[in-house]
Amino acid sequence: MHSYSLIAPAKINLYLEIIGNRADGYHELAMILQSIGLADQIDLRSISIDSIRVHCNHPQVPTDKSNLAYRAAELMARQFPEAFAKYGGVEITVNKQIPVAAGLAGGSTNAAAVLVGINLLWKLGLTQSELEELGSTLGSDVPFCVAGGTAIATGRGEQLSPLPSLDNIYVVLGKYRSLEVSTAWAYKTYREQFGNSYIRDSDNLVARANAVHSGTIVKAVLDKDVGGIAQKLHNDLERVVLPAYPQVLQLREVFANKEGVLGTMMSGSGPTVFALFESQQQAELVLLQVREAILDQDLELFVTRTITHGIKVASSV
């Protein structure tokens, strides 16, 4: 095969707890991550020259080394120089549907697709856990994007414990096109404002991260209790992002007051807000109601649903 077309789904955070500082400068987290149907398409093609080329339909997405998909290809070329020499360079075409800098892991899932795709293109035979390990050097969310589905994520977010898949929840996403939140800014601001309440003792840090496994939201996931999940949604980063972005707070409040919404929250470091529903019909109705309540063309709204997979091959030639 000389080319692969891959589906790279976005994620939402059903739970995000910041526990403390890590020696590597990151934060120790306890999260529940969930793949959703909103996805980018990544096309990978071997090219005869030994370089990496990125194309993207979205004008804000860089095509140079600052693009995580580029860095994923570079990592594979560095790790597997013989395969790179044998198969040549790679052309990566990103068809972007996932909003950028939105808290939906759009960049991370593109990088995950490049790792999965090059593994196939160069016939490397790497296992999923080997791909996740490589992915963790690119970004904290990349391993989850490789695996997908529903999972508890601890450590930086790269240590995954799969949970039974949730495929029956409908999701409406709201994102202001022109609003972007830097993940690094959100964590830095959180540390400045709430760092004095972090757990410092390393044993307690581990115990707190492990506690998520027996927490009420995980129990609701295990029971497939959609209402229970929706009531226990939590994201510590809302404490810094919502006060800084009043539009996002307002969007969250509009969702919260609509009938049929089981629960609403910001995803990751935002600014995307999501709401959960039992049916597609309810989700579509609330999308229309939010569109009427907020007459701003900058607000993008999507209906999607939870899905059970990460990166998937759509076709190969």
Q: Which residues are catalytic?
A: 11, 141
Residue 114's Cβ-count burial label (10 Å; 0-12, 13-18, 19+) is buried
Can you say whether residue 123 is alpha, beta or left, with left for phi > 0 and alpha for psi between -120 and 50 degrees?
left
Nearer to ligand C5P, 264 or 269 (CB): 269
Give CA angle at 221 (134, 182), nearest 5°.
50
Work out how close the CB of 20 gets to ligand C5P at its nearest, in angstroms, rounded to a whole number.
10
Identity of the residue, 70 or 187, whose beta carbon is nearer to ligand C5P in the bound complex: 187
Question: Which residues sit at the interface with ligand C5P, rule CB under 6 A?
Answer: 26-27, 29, 139-141, 156-157, 183-184, 187
Report the half-sphere exposure of 30 (CA within 13 A, side-chain side): 19
- 236 by DSSP, 3-state: which? coil
**CB of residue 299 to ligand C5P, shortest distance in Å:** 25
* Shortest separation between residue 97's beta carbon and ligand C5P, angstroms: 20
Specify the residue, 53 or 245, whose C-beta has the smaller distance to ligand C5P.
245
Q: CB-wise, 168 or 210, nearer to ligand C5P?
A: 210
The DSSP line for 191-215 is: HHHHGGGS--SHHHHHHHHHHGGGS
Q: What b/e readout covers 236-261, taking b as 16+ CB neighbours within 10 angstroms?
A: bbbebbbeebebbbebbebbeebebb
Two tokens, residue 89: 């360079």
Give whichever of 43 and 141 is closer to ligand C5P, judged by the CB atom.
141
Distance of closest approach, residue 283 Cβ to ligand C5P, in angstroms: 28
Instruction: Write down the least CB distance from residue 270 to ligand C5P, Å.
Output: 13
Neighbours of 298 (CB within 10 A): 11
The kind and range of the H/E element at 91 are: strand 89-95
How far from the centroid of its chain's Cα atoms is residue 33's Cα? 8
User: Using CA atoms, how far apart are residues 192 and 228, in angstroms rounded to an integer?
Assistant: 32
